[in-house]
Amino acid sequence: MAKLFGKGSKLYSIFRMKCPQCQEGEFFTSHPYDIKNAGNTHENCSECGLKYEKELGFFQGAMYVSYALGVALFVTLWVSFNLFFPWMSTGTQVTIVAISSVVLTPYMYALSKIIWINLFTSYRKPEGRVKKTA
């Protein structure tokens, strides 16, 4: 289980929002709820020099990941309500799903970008990298 979330796994990079190649450098310029800078990524990794945006418009593909995360959130909440709170009205369920979606949007936006780049970039052990010098 440690390897599943440990350094070298994609989940480590995703949940810690670190560079997918070295898993040390920061991927985003700030946290997801800093609305002014939400979703802004560094141009390159400060540790290994990986260029994050492979080509112009690279992160547009993250829209597909964002859509999947939104559907997963909706299905999870809807099934949970119907299993654990069958007495809850449909209007209340829809309201909770809508509020949850709005509140989680910045985090899911950031999560979709880091998931997207992790689909195309693999972890490289430190001995295989040359550290970027300033």
Structure tokens at 82: 């119907």
Residue showing tokens 């492979």: 54
| Two structure tokens written together for 70 | 């939104």
Cβ atoms of 40 and 29 within 8 Å: the answer is yes
pTM, 2 dp? 0.83
For residue range 40-69, list pLDDT tens digits in order. 888 999 888 889 988 888 999 999 999 999
Continuous H helices in 22-128: 62-84, 90-120
Domain range list for the chain = 7-128
Rounded to an integer, what is the distance from CA 10 to the centroid of its chain? 11
Q: What is the pLDDT of residues 75-120, one digit of tens each?
A: 999 999 999 999 999 999 999 999 999 999 999 999 999 999 999 9
